[in-house]
Every structure is written in C-alpha cells, then in structure tokens.
Amino acid sequence: DQQVKQNSPSLSVQEGRISILNCDYTNSMFDYFLWYKKYPAEGPTFLISISSIKDKNEDGRFTVFLNKSAKHLSLHIVPSQPGDSAVYFCAASVGDYKLSFGAGTTVTVRA
C-alpha cells in the first residue's frame, strides 16, 4: 500500500514560470517530509525538507508547503530553469523510521 502518492506522473512548464508539484499522504503519523530530484542514470539527490511543526520551508528557488489537515505537500520551483528537468520524488518518514517514497513526477522545462 502506497502511503505517499504523487498523482501527476508528468508536468510540463515554460522556462521562467512556476512549477508546482503535489504530493498526498495517508499516514497521519508522518512527521518529516522531503523532496528529491533525480536525473536519468543517477541516484536521487536531496532537495529540500520540512518537519511537521512547520507549514513552509524555503531554499532559494525551492519552497515546500505542508498542509497537515489535508495531508498534502507541495513543491514550488520559481523560476523554473532547463536544469530543473528531472524526476521529483516526494518522501516521508515517521520519527526515526524509514523513508516512504512516492512514484515521482517527471518535470520538463520548455525553453
């Protein structure tokens, strides 16, 4: 059973515009959330995280929003750049336990 879901398998956005990636989870015990970025033939790379005591975390062009009541997480990339074209994975964990990953969203940034 998938506890972390990314319902949009792909997203296409024009360079310079905002990319919004969404993630839903079912386990209300999750208290730490992460986003990873993955290029083809490489391992996932950590991008940004947020703990359940916050509702927003920002790092440069990347902002993660957490809505605990809706069990929803989103990643905003502003402005989108060609190098952002990759697969983005949402992940979550309970306390010190394992990370559960979503299936990923493929982002394509068009010039």
Interacting residues toward another protein by CB under 8 A = 2, 32, 34, 36, 41-46, 49, 87, 89, 91, 93-101, 103-104
What is the nearest approach in angstroms of another protein to the Cβ of residue 97?
5
Q: Are 65 and 74 in contact (CB under 8 A)?
A: yes
Name the minimum Å distance from CB 43 to another protein. Answer: 3
Residue pair 4/102 in contact by the 8 Å Cβ criterion: yes
Which CB atom, from 73 or from 87, has the smaller least distance to another protein? 87
Nearer to another protein, 2 or 67 (CB): 2
Residue 46 CB, nearest distance to another protein (Å)?
4
Give least dist CB 69 to another protein, A: 23
Alpha-carbon distance of 44 to 55, in angstroms, equals 24
- State which residue, 22 or 79, has the beta carbon closest to another protein: 22
When the beta carbons of 20 and 103 are compared against another protein, the nearer one is 103
Q: What is the 3-state secondary structure (H, E, C) of 65-106?
A: EEECCCCEEEEEECCCCHHHCEEEEEEEECCCCCEEECCCEE
Residue whose entry in the numeric block shows the structure tokens 């069990």 = 71
**Local structure of 12: helix, strand or coil:** strand
